[in-house]
Structure 1
Amino acid sequence: MTARLIRLVIMSLILPLAALSGCGSDERAEQSAGFAGLGQDAEGFQQAAPNQALTFPDDFPHEHAAHPDYRIEWWYLTANLEDVSGEPLGLQWTLFRQALMPPSERPEPTPWAADQLWMAHMAISQGEQHQVAERFGRSHSQAELSQSHDAQAGVVASPFHAWLDDWQLQASADADDDAFSPLTLTAYSGEGASRFGYTLELTAEGPLVFHGEEGFSQKAANGQGSMYYSQPFWQIEGDVTLNGETKAVSGRGWLDREWSSQLLDARQSGWDWFSLHLDDGHKLMAFQLRGGGDDSADTEQGAAYRSGTWITPQGDASPLATDDITLTPLATSTVAGRDVPTRWRLEIASVAIDLNIEAPHANRWMDTSVPYWEGEVRVNDRASGEPMGEGYLEMTGY
């Protein structure tokens, strides 16, 4: 295969997947509708809407699987862990899917007629170390092919299995066919002394949580949105390999499931997303999309649309309206040549909390084909400075 053909094949995988996560270049943003093309027209694809509200348990485990008639989708795990010496450690594993064409335009399945593209990211962060890897794959949406474990990438619901090559998140061998817990996550990259990765056991100690209106999460004032639920109650144990050393780790994790065809408004330039584990057992998800809101929520980059979910220790979820959330960047860090907010104030009026959220390490840039910032954060009460928890922050479009 010539060098030109190799380049064309690689770019055919990378460029469509730019719509799945992270920020692309300014030039790419100008050529697409909204941030990373997520606001572009999605005619012919199935649309996320409030009238498609998820129900439990009727829609499960089906919803854990892929939704190829929607344009974009992800399975997104972050975890705040400690090693045996008590040193904090963060990790991420994400599987992204994008449909290349609407269902009516799909070709007959052949080895070269894939209509679904896949991208996977993994990262391990400890102290100033931040190791990142990514992979790409493809599949066909036809059920007998997409649900075959011989496919390069895919997700099936029963028994649950999400994979790209040998990176995989799957139900334990002795689990019931419909089980979404416990799960085993395995992903490694590199060879010899540079090899890094993890083998982890995930056990859910609380229920699944639906965001927004029974699972429909609005992302802009004009109604764009996604189907969105989470498992924020993972307890995690296992082994992490970093710098040639394997160590036991334990802690807690958060898994997001989201799918849509036109996620954002065309005006939206990126997002700031928080998933927080509070020490009293509450969980908090909050985000802002920069642009696409109304004039009551201004940021330096235009009106923001905000939303979130307040989750009790028992898993009861209360949606948070855009005017209930105030997000204020307090300090920035220069990371990969970009000024990125790494210290925030987060106020939730309805539950009377006022938090400072800070990334202890700024160098969490995901230098992948689609770059973005993703890292661990500490949570403190703003008035007293008392530690209140930990979590993860993702920022795109900077």
Structure 2
Amino acid sequence: MRTKWLVLMIALLLGGCDQSAPEEKGFAGMGDQAQSFTPVVPGRVFSFPADHGAHDGFRIEWWYVTANLKDQQGNDFGVQWTLFRSALKPVAEQAGWGNQTIWLGHAAVTSPSVHHAAERYARGGVGQAGVRLAPFEAWIDDWMFASQAQDPLRDMQLSARDKNFAYQLRLTSSRPLVLQGDNGFSQKSEEGQASYYYSQPFFQASGTLQIDGQTYSVSGPAWLDREWSSQPLTANQTGWDWFSLHLDSGEHVMLYRMRQKDGAPYLTGTWIAADGQIQTLHSEQISLVPQDTAKVADRPMPVKWSIRIPDKQLDISVDALNRNAWMDLRIPYWEGPVKIDGSHPGQGYLEMTGY
């Protein structure tokens, strides 16, 4: 689940506001009311490739890629690439500095011993960042997620670069994408907060990765998440723990736990069978329990988890490849690759916010 949002904080950073920000509700202000923006309601009919593009009228949106990679010697790495779109007003895109969209990019690489992260900010309307269709391209500065294919999710190019790392990857898949939740309506609380959410968990990635001056040829599975919303959290929700898991048996699993100030977390997920059939998982079907913590950025982080889904005979341990995978950015959070042991070994990604 990919809802890191920042609307007020980004507006202060880039919008030139000189007034004090109101108290945020929920993580990064995502519980703030958004009455003037388009609500997320059940029953949306998705349309592709149009829905790969930006959605005017919604407040927040992202294109989010993670990849679990190995080099030719079997060493493990992780890669993250994200483009966030934040609308300051519910109006259509326009050219020039009157544009009411802020763009944010996050990129990271992880090995068992190293984690590097970087960020980019841009104002919409001036060509520095954006998303276009036909051919598809999502970009901020020279960071790119692009395709020349008629169906862009079949063959993508992914790249990012910073002073300590770079990567250039090709992502391919012949499998259909997955609509999360109820046909793409992904509920985030008992009160009805939700996003529109689809994934492409079947990407296979290959290419090159540079870390601290050393270059590796890498390959492995990758996962794309696409979400858009206007108010995805309640004021009572403090953050989340999100898992995307590639199991060696061919299944894939998405889980998220939305933590609250008061009451039990909101827990749900998706089971993706090897043949692509999907099943929504409800809280009573899932056991998600932290097993071990590490001190990261002067705070305790649950870096090892037990996950059980008895209906699927799943009983696994999920452990961070690098426990110090802290995204030390303006909006800090933990995100990194994980190793999976137990009934269904595999690999995946974990994101934790609000700690």
TM-score (norm 1): 0.82
Q: CA deviation at 1:14?
A: 8.7
The answer to whether 1:50 aligns with 2:11 is: no
**For residue 39 of structure 1, what is the aligned residue in structure 2?**
31
The answer for unaligned runs of 5 or more in structure 2 is 1-8
The answer to whether 1:183 aligns with 2:159 is: no
Find the partner of 1:93 among 61, 81, 84: 81
Paired residue type of 1:13: L
* SS of 1:180 mapped into structure 2: helix
Q: Structure 2 vs 1, CA of residues 179 and 91 (structure 1 numbering), >3 Å: closer, same or farther?
A: closer
Q: Whole-Å Cα distance in 2 between the matches of residues 349 and 396 of structure 1?
A: 27
Deviations 1:166-199 (A, max 9, x none): 1011004xx23x4322000111112xxx4x1111
Q: Structure 2 vs 1, CA of residues 166 and 342 (structure 1 numbering), >3 Å: closer, same or farther?
A: same
Deviations 1:43-77 (A, max 9, x none): 111111112243xxxx0000100112100011111
**For residue 159 of structure 1, what is the aligned residue in structure 2?**
135
**For residue 336 of structure 1, what is the aligned residue in structure 2?**
297
> Which of the two has higher C-alpha Rg?
1
Find the partner of 2:212 among 216, 239, 243: 243
The answer to whether 1:391 aligns with 2:348 is: yes
Q: CA deviation at 1:303?
A: 1.3
* SS of 2:28 mapped into structure 1: helix
The answer to whether 1:352 aligns with 2:328 is: no
Task: Check whether the contact 1:63–1:157 (CA below 8 A) recurs between aligned residues.
Answer: no
* SS of 1:36 mapped into structure 2: helix
Q: Whole-Å Cα distance in 2 between the matches of residues 395 and 160 of structure 1?
A: 30
Paired residue type of 1:160: F
The answer for unaligned runs of 5 or more in structure 1 is 1-7, 17-27, 141-149, 293-300
Q: CA deviation at 1:10?
A: 8.9
Task: Check whether the contact 1:14–1:369 (CA below 8 A) recurs between aligned residues.
Answer: no
With 352-361 and 206-215 compared, the bigger mean Cα shift is at: 352-361
Q: What percent of counterpart residues are identical?
A: 45
**For residue 143 of structure 1, what is the aligned residue in structure 2?**
none
Find the partner of 2:106 among 121, 124, 128: 121
**For residue 13 of structure 1, what is the aligned residue in structure 2?**
14
Paired residue type of 1:232: P
Paired residue type of 1:270: G
TM-score (norm 2): 0.92
Task: Check whether the contact 2:97–2:123 (CA below 8 A) recurs between aligned residues.
Answer: no
More helix by share: 1
Q: CA deviation at 1:337?
A: 0.5
Q: CA deviation at 1:158?
A: 2.0
Paired residue type of 2:122: G
Q: Whole-Å Cα distance in 1 between the matches of residues 181 and 95 of structure 2?
A: 39
CA RMSD for the aligned pairs? Answer: 2.3
Q: CA deviation at 1:360?
A: 3.0
Deviations 1:131-190 (A, max 9, x none): 1111001114xxxxxxxxx72111123221100011011004xx23x4322000111112
How many pairs align?
345
Alignment of 1:1-398 (within 5 A): 11-13=12-14, 31-54=23-46, 59-103=47-91, 109=94, 111-140=96-125, 151-172=127-148, 175-176=149-150, 178-190=151-163, 194=164, 196-291=165-260, 302-381=263-342, 388-398=345-355
**For residue 5 of structure 2, what is the aligned residue in structure 1?**
none
